[in-house]
Amino acid sequence: MLILNKTAGVLKPSKRKVYGFLRSFNFHPGTLFLHKIVLGIETSCDDTAAAVVDETGNVLGEAIHSQTEVHLKTGGIIPPVAQQLHRENIQRIVQEALSASSISPSDLSAIATTIKPGLALSLGVGLSFSLQLVGQLKKPFIPIHHMEAHALTIRLTNKVEFPFLVLLISGGHCLLALVQGVSDFLLLGKSLDIAPGDMLDKVARRLSLIKHPECSTMSGGKAIEHLAKQGNRFHFDITPPLQRAKNCDFSFTGLQHLINKIIIQKEKEEGIEQGQILSSAADIAAAVQHTTACHIVKRTHRAILFCKQRDLLPQNNAVLVASGGVASNFYIRRALEILTNATQCTLLCPPPRLCTDNGIMIAWNGIERLRAGIGILHDIEDIRYEPKCPLGVDISKEVEEAAIKVPRLKMNL
C-alpha cells in the first residue's frame, strides 16, 4: 500500500513506493499505440476512481471504490474519513485500472485528475498521488474540473456536437449551462442553497431508509427512487420552489424543511418515534421525487427558451444533456423527456454508472482537452486543488432580466 508522507504541508507518496508501484507493471518499450491514451483519476468526493480511455472513446481499463456504505452508516460524509479511505484505496484502484487496460504506463499520453471543485481533503489525495506519478513517468498533466467532466461524458457515449445545454444534478452540484466547447461554458443558473442529491440524501436519512430492507445499501437518492415506485405522490400536494422567480436558479432547502414537517406530522399520526420507518414513507418518497422533478423541469424549460430566444441553440433538435448522480433517476429522466418532446429538443443522458462519479469521465475529459490542445501542463510546480470553483461565464443575471414566462407543462408521470 502506498504510504503518504507529509512534506511542506502537502501529502506526497514516497518515491520508493511509487517506483515499486511502477515496477509492478510490465513495460513494453516497443509497443506503438496509434491513439492517444489518458489515465483519469477522480477523488473529489467519496469515490476513488480511475480509468484508462483512448481517443476513440474505448474504455481500456476501469476501477472504482465507493465509500457510500461507510458514509451511510455515519449519516453523511465526514471529510477526514473520506480522505483516509481515498489514501487506503488510490494505489490499488489506479493499479487495477492500468492492469485491466494491459497498457504500460509509459504508453500513456497524459494523466488527468480532478483538481476542482470538491472536498479539499479528498481532492488533495488524488492530486498528490497524480503529481508523483506524473513526475516519475514524465507525462503531461491535465487538471480537470469535475463538472466539466460530467458535462462532456455524453460525447464519449453519443455523437454530440457543440453547442448543447447541460443540466448537472448531483449530491454536490446543481446547474444549467450552455456548452459551447470543451472548456467554453455559459452558466445560466445554479442552486441558491443545496443540491438535489444532498436534499434527497437528507430526506432518506430522516426517513431512516438505511433500516429499510430493500434500501439499506443504496445512496439516499437511489433509495428514494426505489421506494417511490411503491408510493402514491397524490397523498401530498407540494408546490415546487421558486415559482415566481423568472430565472434558471434552483432551491432545495425549503423543500427539505417542508418534507421534514410532513414527516414529523406523520410520526405523530402514526404514533412512532424518529428512527422508525413510517408506513407512509413510500408516499413521501414519491411526493419529494415528483416535486424535485417538476422544479428541475421548470428551470430547464426556461433555459431552453432563453437559449433559443438568443439563438444560442438551434430552434429544432437542440440537445439537452442531463448528467450527475441525480440524473440516473429514471423518474426525473421521464419528466425531462416530457419537456424535450414539448420543445422539439432531444434528451441525452449517459448510462447511470457514468452519471455518478467515475474515472472514465475524467480520462475522457483529458482526451477532449488533449485533442483541443487546452490545459495540458508540462510544468506542475504551482498546481493546487480548488475546493470551490465556478463553471464557465456566469450569465444568470441576463437570464433573469429576460424574465421568460414558462408555459405550463402537464407532468403526467
Q: Which stretch binds Zn ion (CB under 5 A): 101-109, 116-124, 166-174, 374-382?
A: 166-174
Residue 235 CB, shortest distance to ligand KG4, in Å, is: 20
Comparing CA positions, the residue from 367, 391, 365, 348 lying closest to residue 154 is 348
The reply on whether position 200 binds ligand KG4 by CB under 6 A is yes
Q: Which of 67, 83, 170, 328 binds Zn ion (CB under 5 A)?
A: 170
- Identity of residue 211: K
The reply on whether position 289 binds Zn ion by CB under 5 A is no
3-state secondary structure 90-105: HHHHHHHHHHHHCCCH
The reply on whether position 375 binds ligand KG4 by CB under 6 A is no
Residue closer to ligand KG4 by CB (options 59, 133) is: 59
110 pairs with which residues across the strands? 38
**Which residues, 6+ apart, have CB-to-CB distance to 392 below 8 Å?**
177, 184, 185, 186, 187
- Identity of residue 262: I
The reply on whether position 163 binds ligand KG4 by CB under 6 A is no
Residue closer to ligand KG4 by CB (options 59, 151) is: 151
Could you say which residues in the range 9-48 bind ligand KG4, by CB under 6 A?
A: 45
Could you say which residues in the range 222-251 bind ligand KG4, by CB under 6 A?
A: 222, 225
The reply on whether position 130 binds Zn ion by CB under 5 A is no
The reply on whether position 198 binds Zn ion by CB under 5 A is no
Q: Which of 61, 105, 143, 220 binds ligand KG4 (CB under 6 A)?
A: 220
Q: Which of 61, 117, 172, 231 binds ligand KG4 (CB under 6 A)?
A: 172
The CA distance from 141 to 133, in Å, is 10
Tell me how far apart the 2 most distant CA atoms of the chain are, in Å: 73
Q: Which of 107, 201, 357, 368 binds Zn ion (CB under 5 A)?
A: 357
Q: Which stretch binds ligand KG4 (CB under 6 A): 52-60, 89-97, 208-216, 219-227?
A: 219-227
Q: Which stretch binds ligand KG4 (CB under 6 A): 18-26, 216-224, 277-285, 375-383?
A: 216-224
- Identity of residue 380: I
24 pairs with which residues across the strands? none
> What is the spatial order of strands in the sheet that 141-145 belongs to?
59-66, 47-54, 37-42, 110-116, 141-145
Termini Cα distance of the chain: 49
The CA distance from 264 to 143, in Å, is 45
Beta strands in 47-131 (DSSP E): 47-54, 59-66, 110-116
Q: Residues 300-339 vs ligand KG4: string with x where CB under 6 A?
A: ------------------------xxx-xx----------
Kindly list the residues in this chain that would bind ligand KG4 in the complex (CB under 6 A). 45, 170-172, 197-198, 200-201, 219-222, 225, 324-326, 328-329, 356-357
